[in-house]
A and B are shown apart, each in its own frame.
Chain A
């Protein structure tokens, strides 16, 4: 008996495909921790886990896998995520980066999908741009609690599937220059935003379902662009109006030629002269130079 037998409807090759899949998870708090747990149960074989933070007591209301002992010990969130993964996928390939995602770019570039569960618009915007530059599908999840004055609070959130070439977070109106400006002006004053476990669960589960469709679809009517909005007061998750309007449209914010590392095209390999100094030489990137370039990127 195989532990994944009950999901065989995902296809005869699904177990192999999921095991060969590598998912980058940026943000392992309330949303990301749910995603990690589900991907592990699903049988995803490769992970790049990125989060600079340690768990604290206020995270234990929502960080899946995090215990009170972890909060006492100030365990790294990436360590908690790895432990959750290995509980059901002991042979998973896990790269854990307890730092910002900018320190993990080399590993993220080879992911099949990147999931962003980050707090800021700036992070989402730049992470999505990074994913586009490397032709990687990007799934974004986020939730908010809004005060409605005397009428209490509204819990809301979104799940967006952003595919290279298709509509992006800016096309969706989620990332705007106004929001980026307000965020930059409020630098350092973000504070602890209200967060609870169940909306994160809804959004994370929805994102994992979309990821499964990308990797091992179980029906033929697949969507290339998804923008779902969550209303936690009504208990609904439904397509945003833009999802139908933008379906099949290309994105003006991420020109398709902006892929790869433009610095490669503009770099000039140096050659060492007789006196030991290095001179810039307009020449070719030799196979050895490519090896050096790749090795330098790994560091």
Chain B
């Protein structure tokens, strides 16, 4: 996977996306990402980890828990900050990052 190409694809969707690193793996910060939960708009920092993390093949971290969505939210430290992640398995690493992000965001449906 071409990290730069995948990152630019995400950046084209969300201009303020930033490419960071954790344990040598690329990680994408999506500050103030617009979300729609039960037809209500909200914004939140997200962190996409497109490689193995804490027992999952890929992971999406949220700045806060989203009430009523997802299960088994657990707290994590990534890139020196605190995040939350629901139990949401099997989002493959071998896919374009925009598709990966969408697959993770299905937890909010």
Interface residues of A (CB under 8 A from B): 100-103, 105, 122, 125-127, 129-130, 133-134, 177, 180-185, 187-188, 252-255, 257-258, 260-263, 266, 268, 280
Is B68 located at the chain interface by the 8 A CB criterion? no
Is B72 located at the chain interface by the 8 A CB criterion? yes
* Chain B positions within 8 Å of A126 at CB level: 54, 76-78
Once A103-B82, A126-B77, A187-B72 are accepted as A-B contacts, the answer to whether A181 and B55 lie under 8 Å apart by CB is yes
Q: From A100, which residue of chain B is reached at the shortest CB distance?
A: B75
* Chain A positions within 8 Å of B23 at CB level: 129, 253-255, 258
A258–B76 touching, CB < 8 Å: no
Q: Considering the complex of A and B, which 7 residue pairs feature the smallest CB-CB distances, nearest first? A: A184-B55, A102-B82, A266-B18, A181-B55, A180-B55, A126-B77, A262-B20
Is B80 located at the chain interface by the 8 A CB criterion? yes
Query: Binding site of B, secondary structure by majority: helix, strand, loop or mixed?
Result: strand
* Chain B positions within 8 Å of A122 at CB level: 54-55, 74, 76
Once A177-B52, A180-B54, A263-B29 are accepted as A-B contacts, the answer to whether A253 and B77 lie under 8 Å apart by CB is no
Interface residues of B (CB under 8 A from A): 16, 18, 20-24, 29, 52, 54-56, 72, 74-82, 87
A188–B24 touching, CB < 8 Å: no
A253–B54 touching, CB < 8 Å: no
B21–A105 touching, CB < 8 Å: no
A125, A177, A260, A263 — which one has the most chain B CB atoms within 10 A of its CB? A263
Could you tell me the distance between the alpha carbons of A266 and B20 in the complex, rounded to whole angstroms? Answer: 9
A263–B79 touching, CB < 8 Å: yes
* Chain A positions within 8 Å of B74 at CB level: 122, 187
A183–B20 touching, CB < 8 Å: no
B56–A184 touching, CB < 8 Å: yes
Quick one: which of A101, A185, A253, A262 contacts B24, CB cutoff 8 A?
A253
Quick one: which of B29, B54, B82 contacts A266, CB cutoff 8 A?
B29
* Chain A positions within 8 Å of B54 at CB level: 122, 125-126, 180, 184
